[in-house]
Amino acid sequence: KAGVTQTPRYLIKTRGQQVTLSCSPISGHRSVSWYQQTPGQGLQFLFEYFSETQRNKGNFPGRFSGRQFSNSRSEMNVSTLELGDSALYLCASSLVVRYNEQFFGPGTRLTVL
């Protein structure tokens, strides 16, 4: 069974631009979560989707948004990029929310110049 895939793996953008990251979960998994990892803050929860509905959201500004499609694939969007948005963005999938093991993708490393 294929693992969680994320595209692109690396991305360089400039301040003010917007970016869209994609996550394809393991086949059959209906929950996708997104995380941001930086050297200063570590791993932080962005949002969680299940069956196309956002179930939870972390403490990030409205510039960060996401969605999930009917095939469980998910995208996250960051608008008006800031230097501090440079990070590794990870997604993880699980069968359902809360009580299941999560399987992580390799991440997208975003650099904002």
Partner 1 sequence: KNEVEQSPQNLTAQEGEFITINCSYSVGISALHWLQQHPGGGIVSLFMLSSGKKKHGRLIATINIQEKHSSLHITASHPRDSAVYICAVRDDKIIFGKGTRLHILP
Token digits of residue 66 = 């996401």
- Sign of dihedral through CA atoms 107, 3, 32, 65? positive
Is the CB of 73 or the CB of 109 nearer to partner 1? 109
Q: Is 62 in the site for partner 1 (CB under 8 A)?
A: no
The interface region with partner 1, picked from 20-28, 61-69, 73-81, 94-102 by CB under 8 A, is 94-102
User: What letter would DSSP give residue 4?
Assistant: -
Amino acid at 35: Y
* Contacting partner 1 within 17-56 (CB under 8 A): 33, 37, 42-45, 48, 56
Nearer to partner 1, 47 or 78 (CB): 47
Q: Does 98 bind partner 1 (CB under 8 A)?
A: yes
Compute the least distance from the CB of residue 91 to partner 1, in Å.
Answer: 11
DSSP per position, 43-112: EEEEEEEETTEEEEE-S--TTEEEEE-TTS-EEEEE-S--GGG-EEEEEEEESSSSSS--EE---EEEEE
Task: State in angstroms the smallest separation of the CB of 60 from partner 1.
Answer: 12
Residues in contact with partner 1 by the rule CB under 8 A: 33, 37, 42-45, 48, 56, 58, 88, 90, 92, 98-104, 106-107, 109
